[in-house]
Structure 1
């Protein structure tokens, strides 16, 4: 009997509306977060590591955050792309960084919830990284090359069943959200499509535009311009509601696929060795940044919902997501080569 996938009721968007709560702890965190030299944190340049190639949605969010964080701290916040191994090259780099809070990570589903596809990781993301907050979440857009003779999900499934394994979907790498949401579609629709992993979404998107692959389950920030320009066609979005940026594109639920509902999300994380006082200060300051209307609108314009929750809420959410995506990995028998 085919497994039924439960609809999500995480309610991250609601949590994001509560970013204004809890700011009374900002001054206390600031007083407690001094370096070993006795200087207030931060007092020098901060690195924000993006574990994917430049140009993807993680990179977009990182640069938005780096700009605001740099202005708040009056210190340079430099975005550093360290792609590879589904994001785990960058993840391990941050896990191994000095415990001083000057190396941050823009994390993802792949880093925190779907790393079960990798059987030989040289670190444990659950224990070697400390999550500061869930920064934002977003649905994905099912996008196709215009040459694909399918204009909605039902036509896509019918075509895939008629011509099994002739439709290839690209991703940012094995275990990435772009990959896992595609696998969820395969499982819930019984559509025989083939995964083609790339080293980042940018390379996959380039091949989709060129017609080398036919399909992606991609983030909105990297697809909106191509959809509006007619270079890609949007078949559906994977969230509970339509995207304001794509009001004419139905949700998968509206298209008759109620089990195909998922969002991806990003985090800010540090090495697990970083003191809680610094982690708490970062949490309070990032929540302050995300509470600003300009920043929230910037995320919304890219199809993202701001979250910025507390460390405790973020940890509980990620634990639940890990359970959810482990089921997809097991059911789909997904293993990184």
Structure 2
């Protein structure tokens, strides 16, 4: 009888211990949420974050306030979030670069896997090889041939060392035995402006960041980094049509500080799912050639680990270290 009483008491105490967390999740968010986007305005991460967070603001009645903290390929913004209270009121919007950084830099000021909890991806990114119109290359083959004829002469922009944009070109160079000069910028927006102005000659940009420049004829699209052509630019071939086996895609996602209560993580996850199901959100993402991408926190955790391991191998194979 005594054991039964102890057992029942234990269950009751357990229920009491989680009750406050459940109550917090039900009232969350009770005040504005600070959204650290680890990149400057204008790039795919910024665009996706703003689209989804605006809808979450509308759905919850609380402001999800964007705070761009670009620098060091997203390390600056990530560090802010890693050191913030784990209460759900400071969250991070970042890209696959988050899991490549620890392999590119000798030291980052946080543990990429242990100091964050994944909430959900927001969208899938596809890149596009674009060139300045002055470069005499209209096809992937012409671009590769030019790179081989002029080793270490052609310049390409990226949104930061170790970024999706950087590694997409590094992988292409590695697979085609071409050598080009990498010029990193502080975000996809500044990098796109640089190539559009002729400051550099090429870039494997996230598609959303270069659409205005393509439409204004300041950039020439050459090929996309996905295995298949994309619906928004069906006339643009994939790199894989020329370079067999090439594919480079990534995600934009939301993370929170480690130890954020699971009910709050789950609430954020549910609000992201609700936003991504909204037709206006999917249409806005599509115009930026971002495909809505949703996962449970558990699925995203597994994806973070698998991408972490994949980038470790890619960076080792390409030698694309920063320091």
TM-score clears 0.5: yes
Asked if residue 245 in structure 1 is aligned to residue 245 in structure 2, the reply is no
How far residue 62 of structure 1 moved from its aligned partner, in angstroms, is 1.2
Contact 1:183 1:328 in 2 (8 A): no
Question: Closer, same or farther in 2 for the Cα pair 1:306/1:31, shift >3 Å?
Answer: farther
| Matches for 1:83-94 after TM superposition, within 5 Å | 83-94=70-81
How far residue 135 of structure 1 moved from its aligned partner, in angstroms, is 1.3
Asked if residue 316 in structure 1 is aligned to residue 285 in structure 2, the reply is no
Q: 2:37 aligns with which of 43, 50, 72?
A: 50
Secondary structure of residue in 2 paired with 1:104: strand
How far residue 310 of structure 1 moved from its aligned partner, in angstroms, is 0.9
How far residue 318 of structure 1 moved from its aligned partner, in angstroms, is 2.1
Q: Which residue of 1 aligns with 2:141?
A: 154
Q: Which residue of 2 aligns with 1:19?
A: none
Q: 2:316 aligns with which of 330, 333, 336?
A: 330
State how far apart, in whole Å, the 2-side matches of 1:166 and 1:275 are. 51
Q: Which residue of 2 aligns with 1:104?
A: 91
Task: Kindly provide the CA deviation profile for residues 293-323 of structure 1, in whole angstroms up to 9, marking residues without a partner as x.
Answer: 2211211121011111111111222222222
Secondary structure of residue in 1 paired with 2:240: coil
Q: 2:245 aligns with which of 253, 259, 269?
A: 259
Q: Which has the larger radius of gyration?
A: 2
Task: Kindly provide the CA deviation profile for residues 154-206 of structure 1, in whole angstroms up to 9, marking residues without a partner as x.
Answer: 11111111110111111111111111111111111111111111111222222
Asked if residue 170 in structure 1 is aligned to residue 157 in structure 2, the reply is yes
How far residue 44 of structure 1 moved from its aligned partner, in angstroms, is 0.4
How far residue 281 of structure 1 moved from its aligned partner, in angstroms, is 1.0
State how far apart, in whole Å, the 1-side matches of 2:36 and 2:47 are. 12
Secondary structure of residue in 1 paired with 2:113: helix
Asked if residue 131 in structure 1 is aligned to residue 118 in structure 2, the reply is yes
Contact 2:124 2:291 in 1 (8 A): yes
Q: Which residue of 2 aligns with 1:228?
A: 215
Q: Which runs of 5+ in 2 are unaligned?
A: 1-17
* C-alpha RMSD of matched pairs (Å): 1.8
How far residue 66 of structure 1 moved from its aligned partner, in angstroms, is 1.7
Question: Closer, same or farther in 2 for the Cα pair 1:171/1:33, shift >3 Å?
Answer: farther
**4+ residue stretches of structure 1 with deviation over 6 A?**
none
State how far apart, in whole Å, the 1-side matches of 2:100 and 2:151 are. 29
Question: Closer, same or farther in 2 for the Cα pair 1:211/1:30, shift >3 Å?
Answer: farther
Q: How many aligned residue pairs are there?
A: 306
Q: Which residue of 2 aligns with 1:12?
A: none
111-120 or 59-68, which moves further after superposition? 111-120
State how far apart, in whole Å, the 2-side matches of 1:288 and 1:32 are. 22
Task: Kindly provide the CA deviation profile for residues 231-253 of structure 1, in whole angstroms up to 9, marking residues without a partner as x.
Answer: 10011001122122211100112
Contact 1:47 1:104 in 2 (8 A): yes
Contact 2:52 2:122 in 1 (8 A): no
Q: State TM-score, norm by structure 2.
A: 0.91
State how far apart, in whole Å, the 1-side matches of 2:243 and 2:113 are. 32
Q: State TM-score, norm by structure 1.
A: 0.87
Secondary structure of residue in 1 paired with 2:239: coil
How far residue 228 of structure 1 moved from its aligned partner, in angstroms, is 2.0
Q: Which residue of 2 aligns with 1:275?
A: 261
Q: Which residue of 1 aligns with 2:7?
A: none
How far residue 45 of structure 1 moved from its aligned partner, in angstroms, is 0.6
Greater share of helix: 2
State how far apart, in whole Å, the 2-side matches of 1:150 and 1:156 are. 5
